[in-house]
Structure 1
Amino acid sequence: MVKANLSIFLGVIGLVAAQNTTLEATATLPQGVVKGISASFPGSNSSVLRHLVFSNSIIRILFVAFTTRLFNTPPPAEESEDCLYLNVYAPSGASPNSSLPVMVWIHGGGLQFGSASLPIYDGSVMAISQNVVVVTFNYRTNVFGFPNSPEIPQTEQNLGLLDQRLALAWVKTNVLAFGGDPDKVTIFGESAGALSVDALITSYPTDAPFRAAIMQSGQDTIRTQTATPGRAGNNTSYLSWNALASGIGCSNSTSPLACVRASDALTIKSFIEHSGLSFKPVVDDITRVSNPKQKRANHQIANVPVLIGSNAQEGTALAYGQSNITAALNTLFPTNKTLQAEVLAAYPVGKNGLKTSFQVIAKIYTDLIFQCPASIYAASSSAASYPTYRYYYNATFSNIQPFPGLGAYHASEIPLVFGNLRANSTSQEIILGASIQKSWADFAKDPQAGPGWSKINAQGESTMLLCSM
């Protein structure tokens, strides 16, 4: 095992038995030689080098059967606080002279759970088919990443976002050894990963460690009550911290923080899961700025092209099992009865294809949390003269529907983005997946030229529809 100077620990574990693998890939870093695995895939004349595959997964909170089935997040073999590992996937033959584009993935999970070691984030297919280097990494989540303890300075609260910065710094320093060009880095992420991408964009006015960004179903600029966690002036995660400290017997300690830190991580995890506590990032004006919209308009953010989009039925996953529209609106707008009435009137059951109360709730979630913010974001980004591209994913495949009637639900595009399709995938899935992978990679290879369609204008025109044939 090699320990990098950024406290990101590198290791190697075995791979899936279905693929032909050999321990023959190496990369030389200042700290030593890192061994990887060369893997070949059926139907491809090339092979991919897998370096630095995870040994342990991060302690994952809110890991329940529903999200397991919905987002294809099987339990990790082992969880540990020793979790800051990353994976590097590079085409076979890549060398320090290859100067390949680098695509760095930031996983989602509401900043409450998630792991880059999930099979759906395996970057092998993308690396081998698009001739790019793919990097995925862990970052701390929930209380481990965003504790909200009053004993911690505001500038040190967003540990998870600081982890992301460290991972990018590691990539900048070391990716050349794996055939990647440190000046050709594209960051991309989904949901909370997309929020993280935008937080990075808006907090790097100069010297950003990336040159392009892709946001799938998320952003951090348009901060509505529900679209973005921890918006300025509305972060109540300190209540979760107080509840945690009290629940594990630390509230009366001289230092509740020291007491919590001394507690067993799995005990903390269990209490949070059973109590339903949530821990969100704060506005620190280092990793997360207070006024991202104004900073974009004033050109005080990273000057990089962006690709942003959302799915047609994002909200079905969030609204699954709900049928009480009034209760849903009370949750969304608890203090604004006028707005509740206006939204209820705008989304009547029986019109615009909304046949059931569930479909109405799902549509409200889709528009409020994803579609409208993405549209406003894209228009404002373009108006500020940043090259901006938009997509709209509207493909439904029965073999990846965990529950009936979800449609193009939240996160359903991820298997196609990475090319990690199921054995029973249809030809339409395979074709669409290959098209998406090429578009994402084309954007990474030449961000100014874009993903294959026109930039949008200030009115939000020119959106690419990604759907099945």
Structure 2
Amino acid sequence: MPLALLLASVLLVSACFGRATPELVKTTSGLLRGQVEANGVLSFKGIRFAHPATGDRRWEPPAPFVSTVSQNATHFGPACVQQFNGITGALDERVFNNPSNPPVEDEDCLFLNVWKPATDVANLPVLVWIYGGGLAFGTASVPEYDGLSISANEKLIMVSFNYRTNVFGFPGAPDLPLTGNNLGFLDQELAFKWVQENIAQFGGDPQKVTIMGQSAGSQSTSAAISRHSADDAPFRAAIMLSGADVSTSPIPSFAAFDSFAAAVGCTQVPGATRLACLRRVPSAVIRTFTNQLAAPNFLPLIDNVTLFSDPLQRIRTGKTARVPFILGNTQDDGTIVSVNLPDNLTAALDEFVSPFARTTVTADQVRPLYPGLNDTAIIAATLRDILFLCPASLWTAAAVDAGIADVHRYAYGPVFADLQLFPGAGAWHSSELPEIFGTFNRSTATASEVTLSGTMQNIVGNFVRNPTVSPALNWPKYIPGSATKTLAKLAYNGNVLVDDVLQAVQSDSLDTPCAAFWNQFLDVRF
């Protein structure tokens, strides 16, 4: 149907019934036709927000896609090309890539999705989801991140989107400008911009946007806070689930990209000629290389535009967005990360922790930090603390000390039998996500798990609606130190109801290993 005739039909429907067909929404990406799902939720999937980053546009910043053409928005777009390598690669793929029905992958992957509740109310609050995956893998289309349940139950609009990962999103290439390397972050920023420009057409309020991420998505959220000022943030609040950027070296490393280039046959010196060669390499060949067990990891570079070496100092000196936020971790965040690490503590420290700390960390230094734990448990606790718990402690303390109001810190503790990936997994890294999204297995979940899902959705929904008030009954704003009880332990003792889910405990009660040892590697002040 010609566009003019289609628009005339929409206007006719509007004239006859007082409003346009709800599955049709006009956006900068085109006239989108969505679909009605359960509970009357309207979904719009596979919305192109950037031109394909393929061919000569591989490793280029995302170019906004603008169209007036009618678009079928009823199916997810393909996932970006994934990387599952290293000692946890097989487990990561099994847990985070829906192996029974894995998403189709393609370099042409910059699509987003919108779910809105069945209501004609305008100015609805908006939740924008950023997936994790170590900036190596992840996609918005896995079933765990479906926005239907939380949109329906909390009467909010949810948006998810794809961003480039691994060598496609964070190449670390000397062939590119330093500020042109963190392409995945640029993709995220373009998605935020799309939301600001279009969400009102879905009934959302662009002034009521909360961004939420988990793991690398949480680190991405913290990076977005760090690079925006108090005046220009395209969001008013943030939720960070297990992850926050900390101080790191500003010296770039190009070793991973150079080894990749040589491996795929582009042996020229770094520069335009080598880059042209690499842009001709098929993405399938690149994926084969990056998914080898020993393939290098591709990480963001400090460019002082999208990512800074001193985010904690930026918070303390007032250079960041001053938005309310929730930040915390699961009590067993380190168990899945430690899978397949050596059982020997010294060997495990040498393999992971010493390179992270950029100095030798010994078993004699670490064991006293965790009295009563055996070495296997110490390895998991160490990874939890240096990757997730200590950054949460540092970030929340820095924000409060800088006068940022409405900071809430948590630790998530429930353990459900049907979610145990392996013996001793506990409340493992990302185990809260099925509860928040309401995508838990309804055939195996206990009544407590079902109830907790509603509670966690309500906590998130409350914060998205008004981030300046407590997201749950008796959840105090965080005040660091030993003299206050403002750390919220969530569902640690089987407490899953909205009115009893949290126990406020001493604010720094989990932070002894951080203050005693780990913070020296995470905070430039030390």
Taking structure 1 as the reference length, the TM-score comes to 0.87
Range moving further from structure 2, 141-150 or 457-466: 457-466
- Are the aligned partners of 1:245 and 1:260 in contact in 2 as well (CA < 8 Å)? yes
2:136–2:165 CA contact under 8 A, matched in 1: yes
> Which amino acid is the alignment partner of residue 172 of structure 1?
Q
Paired position in structure 2 for 1:3: none
Alignment partner, residue 80 of structure 1: 106
Residue 427 (structure 1) aligned with residue 460 (structure 2): no
Indicate the residue corresponding to 1:439 in structure 2: 459
Q: State the one-letter code of the partner of 1:141.
A: T
CA distance in 2, matches of 1:32, 1:170: 12
How far is the alpha carbon of 1:411 from its aligned partner?
0.7
Shift of 1:72: 5.8
> Are 1:187 and 2:211 an aligned pair?
yes
Match of 2:408 in 1: 389
Residue 248 of structure 1, aligned match among 264, 279, 288: 264
- Aligned letter for 2:250? G
Alignment partner of 1:126 is 2:155? no
Q: Which has the larger radius of gyration?
A: 2
Q: Structure 2: which amino acid aligns with 1:330?
A: D
Q: Measure, in 2, the Cα distance between the counterparts of 1:135 and 1:268.
A: 30
TM-score, structure 2 normalization: 0.78
Q: Does structure 1 retain, via aligned residues, the 8 Å contact 2:330–2:413?
A: yes
Judge conservation of contact 2:27–2:201 (CA < 8 Å) in 1.
yes
Q: How many residues align?
A: 426
Return the alpha-carbon distance in structure 1 between the equivalents of residues 459 and 437 of structure 2: 12
Q: Which residue pairs with 2:159 in the alignment?
A: 135
Alignment of 1:448 with 2:474, yes or no, is no
The Cα of 1:340 is off from its aligned counterpart by 4.6
1:450 Cα shift? 3.3
* Amino acid across the alignment from 1:56: P
SS of the residue aligned with 1:333?
A: helix
Q: Would you say 1:344 and 2:363 are equivalent positions?
A: no
Determine whether 1:405 maps to 2:424. yes
Offset from partner CA, 1:96-129 (integer Å, 9 cap, x none): x511000000000000111011100001000000
Aligned counterparts of 1:319 and 1:31: Cα–Cα separation in 2: 42
Corresponding residue number in structure 1 for 2:232: 207
Whether contact under 8 Å (1:321, 1:358) holds in the other structure is no
- Higher alpha-carbon deviation: 449-458 or 119-128: 449-458
C-alpha distance in 2 between matches for 1:39 and 1:463: 38
For 1:99 and 1:312, the matched residues in 2 are separated by 36
Q: 1:89 to 1:343 in 2, by over 3 A?
A: same
* Residues 72/265 of structure 1: CA separation in 2 closer, same or farther (3 Å cut): closer
Aligned position for 1:91: 117
**Contact residue 149 and residue 257 of structure 1 kept, 8 A:** no
**Aligned letter for 1:92?**
A
Structure 1 SS opposite 2:291: helix
Say whether the 8 Å CA contact 1:34–1:52 is kept in structure 2. Answer: no
Aligned residue number for residue 319 of structure 2: 300
In structure 1, how many angstroms separate the alpha carbons of the residues matched to 2:360 and 2:172? 31
1:319 aligns with 2:338: yes
Q: Name which of 189, 197, 205 aligns with 1:173.
A: 197
Q: Which residue of 2 aligns with 1:12?
A: none
Alignment-derived partner of residue 374 in structure 1: 392
Distance 2:204 2:33 in 1: 17
**Equivalence for 1:28:** 26
Determine helix, strand or coil for the equivalent of 1:436: helix
> Aligned equivalents of 1:338 and 1:194: distance in 2?
27
Q: Which moved more, 1:335-344 or 1:399-408?
A: 335-344
- Partner secondary structure for residue 379 of structure 1: helix
What do residues 235-277 of structure 1 show as CA deviations (whole Å, max 9, x unaligned)? 53x1110111100110137721111111100100111111421
Q: Which amino acid aligns with 1:333?
A: S
User: Is 2:349–2:361's contact at 8 Å kept on the other side of the alignment?
Assistant: no
How far the C-alpha of 1:30 sits from its partner, in A, is 4.5
Indicate the residue corresponding to 2:354 in structure 1: 333
RMSD: 1.9
Secondary structure of 1:187's partner?
Answer: strand
Correspondence 1:57 to 2:73: no
Give the alignment of 1:153-168 within 5 angstroms. Answer: 153-168=177-192
Task: Answer yes or no: is the 8 Å Cα contact 2:122–2:203 preserved in 1.
Answer: yes
Q: What letter is aligned with 1:425?
A: A
Q: 1:338 to 1:118 in 2, by over 3 A?
A: closer
Query: 1:338–1:414: structure 2 CA closer, same or farther, 3 Å change rule?
Result: closer
Structure 2 Cα separation of the partners of residues 264 and 72 of structure 1:
22
Correspondence for 1:259 among 261, 277, 288: 277
Q: What SS does the corresponding residue of 1:89 show, helix, strand or coil? A: strand
Residue 222 (structure 2) pairs with residue 198 (structure 1):
yes
Q: Which deviates more, 295-304 or 339-348?
A: 339-348
Q: Note if contact 2:82-2:136 (Cα within 8 Å) is conserved in structure 1.
A: yes
Q: Say whether residues 1:271 and 2:289 are aligned partners.
A: yes
